[in-house]
């Protein structure tokens, strides 16, 4: 069963409460998404570490329930 974009956003927000999150369903199938996540929790972390924080927030659903997530991360601009 595919994941809903709202469910993905809620899981990310639980792990990164200050995050600005934008999620797009790329194929209209609920299985291929693009997400942009901006959070102060990413400050000082490598891009890989930032992505790992988001993937950890999804609690193992990547590659299973959630087939594909094109991820863009960043820190808020002061």
Q: pLDDT tens, position by position, for the chain (78 residues)? A: 678 899 999 999 999 999 999 999 998 877 788 999 999 999 999 999 999 999 999 988 877 777 788 999 999 986
The CATH classification of domain 5-74, taken from the options 3.20.20.140, 3.20.20.120, 1.10.3720.10, 3.30.300.90: 3.30.300.90
In the chain, domain spans: 5-74
Helix (H) or strand (E) holding 37: strand 32-38
pLDDT of residue 1: 63
Q: Please state the pTM of the whole predicted model.
A: 0.89
Q: Mention every residue, 6+ apart, whose C-beta is less than 8 A from residue 7.
A: none
């Amino acid at each position: 069963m595919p994941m809903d974009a709202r469910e993905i956003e809620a899981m990310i927000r639980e792990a990164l409460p200050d995050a600005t999150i934008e999620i797009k369903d790329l194929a209209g199938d609920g299985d291929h998404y693009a997400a942009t996540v901006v959070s102060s929790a990413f400050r000082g972390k490598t891009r890989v570490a930032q992505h790992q924080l988001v993937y950890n927030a999804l609690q193992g659903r990547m590659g299973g329930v959630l087939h594909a997530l094109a991820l863009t991360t960043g820190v808020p601009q002061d």
